[in-house]
Amino acid sequence: MDTVDGGWTVIQHRFDGSQDFYRMWKEYKRGFGSPYGEYWIGNENLYLLTSSGSYELRIEMGDVSGLSKHFSYSNFSVASENENYTLTISGFSGHVHFDSMAVHNLNQFSTADRDNDATSAWNCAEDYSGGWWYDNCLLVNLNGRYDPTATDDAKAMYCGTDYDILAASQLFQRAIITETSLCYYAAGIDDAYELSYTPPPLTTKQPRDIPVKYGRMDAFRVLNFYQFSTADKDNEVSDANCAVIYHGGWWYSSCHVGNFNGRYDPTAFNDPSAMCWVSFNIGQYSVLKYSEMMIRPI
């Protein structure tokens, strides 16, 4: 894999067809599969992550002949569910000859049960067996049917014009650390795994020496203004009961990017129901051995 600089979070991965990607709105919203296998990170997670700062997107793909290619966008964001997870991408580069994703820019996400595409003549998600930012309808169908030996089949996982039926695809996003956005990704976590947190002043520059070795995103910032939920008092915005699913009491949204009151299970791996912090270290839901939250008068 040619992802030279690290810091990437995998948001989609397909390589063996073990996961069915023809799924409905709620499943695409929450995500499905496993980061160790085939996987969709979930549209709500995409929104929460990309609204916490500036992100870039990288797409890697390969076919049955062993050929692999990649391309990138220097700007990538996904809007909220109220905007049907509208995709924004710009800044194309890579070693494909045609920016086939451009047609999907500014489109809303569609699934077979939620037709938000750009044509009233078709239900693109149903017609092309996927969930995607369909236009009228598509040049790229990375969540289409896994069928790497198909030919000329737009229902299959494919990338059009420059590249055809795929055997594997992987989408990554990475936070762009700039001087002004540094604070969003710096959780202030040192080698001893001691946590401290400085609320990020959004309009002022942060000193350059904030440690960014572990925490890559401000998992607290997205909690702002959410109500506290417990298993018996579901105050969050999702259809699920996040406190039950993630074994805690917290300011869940739908549901979380940090779960400090989750189950204590320090040897778990990438487990969102354990006490964890997204992108703290290894795995998306990096499980913590200890945490300590502190406040003081100022």
Q: Which residues bind Ca ion (CB under 5 A)?
A: 115, 117, 119
Q: How far is the CB of 136 from Ca ion (least distance, A)?
A: 8
- The two tokens of residue 269 are 């791996």
Relative to beta strand 276-278, strand 68-78 is unpaired
Helices (H), the chain: 25-30, 43-50, 124-127, 182-185, 242-245
Q: How far is the CB of 48 from Ca ion (least distance, A)?
A: 27
Q: How far is the CB of 83 from Ca ion (least distance, A)?
A: 17
Instruction: Find all residues with CB under 8 Å of 92, minimum gap 6, and list them.
Output: 71, 72, 73, 99, 101, 102
Nearer to Ca ion, 15 or 122 (CB): 122
Q: How far is the CB of 123 from Ca ion (least distance, A)?
A: 5
Nearer to Ca ion, 126 or 265 (CB): 126
Q: How far is the CB of 122 from Ca ion (least distance, A)?
A: 5
Task: Please tell me the distance from the alpha carbon of residue 152 to that of residue 16, in angstroms, as a whole number.
Answer: 20
Nearer to Ca ion, 131 or 272 (CB): 131
Nearer to Ca ion, 134 or 250 (CB): 134
Nearer to Ca ion, 92 or 133 (CB): 133
- The two tokens of residue 230 are 């417990």
Q: Which residues pair with 65 in a beta bridge?
A: none
Alpha-carbon distances, residue 156 vs 10, 26, 75, 87, 116 (angstroms): 21, 22, 27, 21, 20
